[in-house]
A = this chain, B = another copy of it.
Amino acid sequence: MSEHQILFLPSRQSSSFEEGTTFLDAALELGILIESTCAGLGSCAKCRVVIPSGARDPGPVEKNLLTPQELTKGVRLSCQARVGGKGVCVVPETSRLVGEQIMVDGHRSAIVLGPDLRKVHLTLDTPELGTKFFDAEELSRRLGVPVSQNLRAVRELPHLVREHKSSVTAIIDQDRLLGLEGGDTTASLYGVAIDIGTTTVAAKLLDLREGRVVGVASALNPQKAYGADVVSRIHYCTEHEGGLELMHRLIARQVEDLISKLCRQADIKAVQVYKLTVAANTVMQHFFLKIDPRAVAEMPYAAPFQGPITVEAAELGIMINRLGVVYVLPNLGSFVGSDITSVLTVLDVDQTPGIQLVVDIGTNGEMVLGSQERMVCCSSPAGPAWEGATIAWGMRAAHGAIERAEILEGDLQIRTIGGVPPIGICGSGLLDLVCEFVRAGVIDKSGRILGRAAVPETLPAALTDRILEQERGVSHLQIARLENNEHILLTQKDIREVQLAKGAIAAGIAILMKELGVAAEQITRVSIAGAFGNHVRGVDAVDSGLIPPVDPERIRFIGNAALSGAEAVLLSKDARLRAEKLARTIEYVEISDRADFQDTFVEAMRFRGTP
C-alpha cells in the first residue's frame, strides 16, 4: 500500500498515512480528537473538517449530509473522507473534541510544560589560585544536582574545560545528572513517547523545549510472529532457550526503528533524542525490560514489579543519545498495566468532583472506577472475540471487514473498511450487528436468536428472511452475500462469544460498582479507551450491557490515550508525579476469586437493549 503525507492544521502536525485511511483515524493517530457522536457511522455530521487537497472524492454519505457550497469549499466529514494523496487537513475549533484533558494541541493547556528532562547551559568559572576549587563541585552547586555521583561526567570535565572553554551543557533528568556536553547544546532536546501494545507499537516524537509534537508513527508489534496474544508469547519464552532475549530484541528493535523513522521525517538525528517514556501492559513491559514474564502467567499471577522503572537506553540496547534514559510508567496491578496508568494521567478522575468510569477494551479488559476520594481497578479476560477470533466470520479490522451495521429502511445496512465488498466481520461490526438485532427483537436478551415464528410481528420481512433456522431450534443470521453466493453469517455461537466477552467486562465493572457502592446514574462520565473501544458506538456500549446504563452523552471515546499519557509524563514532571501517585493510591480488586463473581458474570451476559 502507498502512503501519503498529510499535514494537519492549525496544530502543524504531520505524518504519513496509508492510502484509504479515514481522516478521522489519521487525526486520531496524531492525537487530534475530532468530535464524532455517531462514532464514524456518517450520520451525525459533527466531524466536519476542511481538506483542500489529499482526499479521495466525496461519496454518497458526504454528498447527502453536506451542502454543495460546503463541498466546493473543501468541507468534508472526516469519518468518510479517505486519504488519496499528499495533502492538508484543517480541523476547525468547533469539530475538536474538548472537555477531556487530553494531551493534544489545542488543549495542551491542561498539561503545564515542565519536563523532568532538561538541559542547562553554563560557563564554569575559571578557578583562581588559592581557592578550594573543583569544577564538579561548582557544577553541583549551580545545577543543584550531585555531579560527583556520575563518574562518566567527572571524567569528561577536564576535556570540556580545555576544549570548550568551560562552556558546558548539563543534561538532567529527575534531578539526576545524565551527563555533560561541550558548548551550548540546549537548542536540541527531543523525547519520544511510546505505547507498546500487544498488537501495535505507537510512538510520538516531541520537541521538549516547546512541548511540540513533531511526528507520530506506529507499527505492528513484531512479536506477533510468536503468538497473537501475550499468553502464547510467554509460552514461547518458557519453552525456548533465549526466548526472552528474542522477545526483548524484537520489541527493542521495533522501538528503535520507529524512533529512526520519526527522526528521519523530522530531519533530526537519533542522538538528539534523550528520553523515552513508555506505557505498556505488564507483559509487554517484561519483554521490553527483559524480565522473565513467567510469574505473570503462573499462579498466583503476580508481576514482580510495579515500577516506575528508569533505565539507561543503552542498557536496553536502544540507540538514542548515549546519555539517553527510558522511563516506564508504573502499573496498577499485575494485569492492569501502565497503559491504564497512562490513560488516567490524561483524564481528570482524581481532580474533579464526580464518579467516573474508565474502560480499556481489548483481549483483556481493564477498568477503573472512582472519584477524587477513592479509586478501584480490576482486569477481566474478555478474550479475543473483538479481534475476530472465535467468531465464525470474524476478522481483524482490515480492508473488507464489516465495521458498521445499522437497520435502516427495513433492512440491514453495512459498511466495510475501505468501502470494498465485505469479507468478514471485525469487532465493532460484531457489536453493531448484535445490538441492532437485539433492538429489532431478533435476538432476545438472553442472547438467543429467535425463530422466524417468534420474532415480533412488526419485524420487516427483509430481516425475518435473514434468519436461517437450523436443527434443534438454533438459528443463524445472514449478514451479507459474498461474490460466490455464500453468506457471511452471524451464528448463535458468535453471539455467545460476544456475550462472554462483553460479560467479562461488564461483570468487572459491576463488581467495582458494588465495591464502591455506586449506581449507574451516579456515574458522571464514562471514558472508553483503546483502538477497538474507539470504534464502538455509545448506544451499543449501553444497549449491549458492556457498560452500565448511562446517558450516552456521558460517554467519551478517548482513543489511544495511553500514548497521550506517555506524552504527558514526557512533557511534565507534574504529570509524572501524578502517574506515580495514581499507581500508589488506586486499589486493585481481584474479581475472579470473589464469591459473587459467577452470579455477576451470568447476569452481565444478558443484553440490555430495547425492547
Contact = CB atoms under 8 A, between A and B. Distances in A.
Contacts of A305: 134-137, 147-148, 154, 157
Interface in A307-337: 307-311, 315, 331-334
A373 interface: no
B129 A304 contact: no
A256 interface: no
Contacts of A587: 132
B289 A134 contact: no
A295 B161 contact: yes
A149 interface: yes
Given A149-B310, A315-B151, A128 B300 contact: yes
A126 interface: yes
A159 interface: yes
Interface stretch (A197-205, A588-596, A599-607): A588-596
Max chain B Cβ within 10 angstroms of own Cβ: one of A129, A132, A289: A132
Given A295-B161, A300-B126, A300-B127, A290 B155 contact: yes
Interface residues of A, number: 55
Contact of A308 (B148, B292, B299, B301): B148
A148 B306 contact: yes
Nearest to A298: B162
A512 to B, nearest CB: 14
B308 A129 contact: no
Contacts of A158: 291-295, 304
A59 interface: no
A303 interface: yes
A149 B580 CA distance: 14
Interface string A571-597: 000000000000000011110111000
Contact of A306 (B136, B290, B303): B136
Given A151-B309, A306-B137, A129 B289 contact: no
Given A130-B590, A289-B151, A291-B154, A135 B309 contact: no
Interface of A: 126-137, 147-149, 151, 154-155, 157-159, 161-162, 289-295, 299-311, 315, 331-334, 587-590, 592-594
Given A155-B289, A155-B292, 15 more contacts: A127-B300, A128-B300, A129-B301, A130-B594, A132-B333, A132-B587, A134-B302, A134-B305, A135-B304, A147-B305, A148-B309, A151-B315, A154-B291, A154-B304, A161-B295
